[in-house]
């Protein structure tokens, strides 16, 4: 007997409530109606990260089950189909597990974005998004490559999708009415932002009518320090005051990163000159492994993050169109403390040994002048072996303008050594 989503939800409700009620020791006082919202959050995270969905890899049966569940939830929340009379936006792409494969080589795949609309009959629209696809049984992107176990993806990113649904519930009751709101659950993110790239290429309205985008990716581990990382704050001067007001209203502490480019779907909007921020509660050891499970999710914190996003929308309600500002991703935000830069864009989703270059962003920068290329993997910089992005940051930290350093890169099967001049 195939269970309907409703029967599965009832069964999961029983299981998840048993499992989770114990861990909210630091929960603050909450409005009575948020009790029902809290268990909806638990159930949404529980269902989406259940083995039943096999890690929700794009193009699989698990992805389609999740998509159907989201359509049902969007309907329950009173949203309308986001694409005329359709909830689902299929998109085709070609994917190869080999990061060096030429463009267009690989297996064809079809992913499915799920789109719901809160129609305020307004001229302008806000996009709130979260990817719902996951890593399936591991493989590409897994930090446990030897493990072909289900990567349940509770924090990455069932948490963001559950928060998206809670934001829809709260905005239905909000006085913020100057924008329509499109709620988008993207697929194809883990394989390379394919769903959001397609969505911005096929927007249901002119890009000029989209005021801004809020992206939720890994928001399930807020924890006691109530610290929320917000990237993309440099993509409009309007963000700062609104973020501060929303943080005050929710007692969250923000760690801001102005960079508009990052390892998630907000980047697709930034590249279309649409101001976009990414909400994130931080990396952890379970990231991209089979142990990213629902019992580790801070559900009270998840509701706080959702409420924060709602406050942000309310703060910006009268602002109309937000002015867009390009960010100098190398020197701002994450690299604010460095005195030098290589002039590259790191591949944030690369899981191999080293730091893979997603792009040489400055042809006249040290990397450009030294002949480094997209796809190169830096394994040594100066005196530092580069195992990941953090080692790269440490290596940059040790360098000063005017310094010359040896850099070793892996290009295909070759190891190349050259010098970079800062
Ligand atoms: Zn993610």
Distance 366 CA to ligand 1 centre (A): 31
Mean pLDDT along residues 131-145: 89
Distance 260 CA to ligand 1 centre (A): 16
Spell out which residues have Cβ within 5 A of ligand 1, the ion: 156-157, 217
Distance 343 CA to ligand 1 centre (A): 25
Domain ranges for the chain, please list them.
5-315, 334-421
Q: What pLDDT digit, counting tens, does each position of 303-335 carry?
A: 999 999 999 999 999 887 899 998 875 444 444
Q: What is the pLDDT of residue 338?
A: 61
Q: What pLDDT digit, counting tens, does each position of 186-212 carry?
A: 999 999 899 999 999 999 999 999 999
pTM above 0.85, yes or no: no
Return the ∠ at Cα 51 (arms to 132 and 291), rounded to 5°: 80
Q: What is the pLDDT of residue 22?
A: 46
Residue 29: partners with Cβ closer than 8 Å, 6 or more residues away: none
Q: What pLDDT digit, counting tens, does each position of 89-130 carry?
A: 999 998 877 666 776 778 899 999 999 999 999 999 999 999
Distance 194 CA to ligand 1 centre (A): 13
Q: How far is the C-alpha of 109 from the C-alpha of 95, rounded, in Å?
A: 7
Distance 279 CA to ligand 1 centre (A): 11
Give burial (CB, 10 Å; 0-12/13-18/19+) of 59: buried
Distance 160 CA to ligand 1 centre (A): 8
Superfamily of domain covering 334-421? PDZ domain (2.30.42.10)
- CA 47, 49, 53, 58 torsion: positive or negative? positive
Q: How far is the C-alpha of 255 from the C-alpha of 279, rounded, in Å?
A: 10
Q: How far is the C-alpha of 240 from the C-alpha of 317, rounded, in Å?
A: 15
Q: How far is the C-alpha of 28 from the C-alpha of 17, rounded, in Å?
A: 18
Please name the residue that has the structure tokens 């830069």: 341
Distance 287 CA to ligand 1 centre (A): 9
Does pLDDT of 10 surpass 60? Answer: no
Q: What is the pLDDT of residue 151?
A: 96
Distance 357 CA to ligand 1 centre (A): 19
Q: Return the CATH class of domain 5-315.
A: alpha beta
Distance 192 CA to ligand 1 centre (A): 11
Mean pLDDT along residues 40-52: 97
Q: How far is the C-alpha of 60 from the C-alpha of 136, rounded, in Å?
A: 8
Mean pLDDT along residues 241-264: 92
Distance 266 CA to ligand 1 centre (A): 11
Does pLDDT of 337 surpass 70? Answer: no
Q: How far is the C-alpha of 154 from the C-alpha of 366, rounded, in Å?
A: 40
Distance 102 CA to ligand 1 centre (A): 25
Does pLDDT of 253 surpass 70? Answer: yes
Q: Bridge-partner residues for 310, per DSSP?
A: none
Q: What is the pLDDT of residue 351?
A: 67
Distance 150 CA to ligand 1 centre (A): 16
Distance 358 CA to ligand 1 centre (A): 17
Distance 189 CA to ligand 1 centre (A): 7
Mean pLDDT along residues 281-290: 88
Q: How far is the C-alpha of 277 from the C-alpha of 369, rounded, in Å?
A: 32
Distance 162 CA to ligand 1 centre (A): 13
Distance 122 CA to ligand 1 centre (A): 31
**Greatest CA span in the chain, whole angstroms?**
69
Mean pLDDT along residues 390-415: 87
């Amino acid at each position: 007997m195939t269970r309907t989503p409703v029967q599965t939800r009832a069964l999961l409700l029983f299981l998840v409530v048993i499992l989770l009620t114990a861990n909210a020791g630091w929960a603050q006082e909450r409005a009575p109606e948020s009790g029902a919202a809290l268990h909806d959050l638990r159930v949404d995270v529980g269902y989406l990260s259940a083995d039943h969905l096999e890690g929700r890899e794009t193009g699989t049966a698990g992805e389609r089950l999740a998509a159907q569940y989201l359509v049902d939830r969007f309907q329950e929340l009173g949203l309308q189909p986001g694409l005329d009379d359709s909830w689902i936006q299929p998109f085709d792409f070609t994917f190869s597990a080999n990061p060096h494969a030429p463009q267009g080589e690989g297996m064809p795949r079809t992913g499915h974005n799920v789109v719901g609309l809160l129609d305020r009959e307004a001229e302008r629209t806000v996009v709130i998004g979260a990817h719902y696809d996951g890593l399936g049984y591991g493989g590409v992107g897994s930090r446990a490559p030897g493990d072909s176990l289900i990567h349940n993806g509770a924090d990455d990113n069932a948490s963001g999708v559950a928060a998206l649904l809670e934001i829809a519930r709260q905005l239905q009751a909000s006085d913020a009415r100057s924008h329509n709101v499109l709620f988008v659950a993207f697929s194809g993110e883990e394989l390379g932002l394919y769903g959001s790239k397609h969505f911005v290429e096929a927007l249901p309205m002119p890009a000029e009518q989209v005021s801004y985008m809020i992206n939720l990716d890994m928001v399930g581990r807020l924890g006691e320090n109530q610290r929320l990382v917000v990237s993309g704050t440099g993509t409009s001067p309007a963000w700062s005051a609104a973020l501060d007001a929303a943080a005050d209203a929710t007692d969250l502490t923000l760690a801001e990163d102005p960079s508009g480019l990052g390892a998630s779907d907000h980047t697709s909007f930034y590249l279309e000159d649409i101001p976009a921020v990414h909400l994130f509660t931080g990396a952890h050891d379970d990231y991209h492994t089979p142990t990213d499970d629902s019992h580790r999710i801070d559900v009270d914190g998840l509701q706080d993050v959702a409420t924060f996003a709602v406050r942000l929308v309310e703060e910006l309600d009268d602002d109309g169109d937000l002015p867009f500002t390009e960010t100098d991703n190398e020197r701002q935000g994450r690299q604010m403390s460095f005195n030098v830069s290589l002039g590259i864009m790191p591949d944030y989703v690369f899981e191999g040994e080293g730091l893979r270059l997603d792009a040489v962003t400055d042809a006249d920068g040290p990397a450009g002048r030294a002949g480094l290329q997209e796809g190169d993997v830096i394994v040594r910089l100066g005196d530092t072996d580069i195992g990941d992005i953090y080692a790269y940051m440490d290596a940059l930290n040790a360098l000063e303008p005017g310094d010359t350093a040896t850099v070793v890169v892996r290009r295909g099967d070759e190891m190349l050594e050259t010098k970079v001049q800062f």
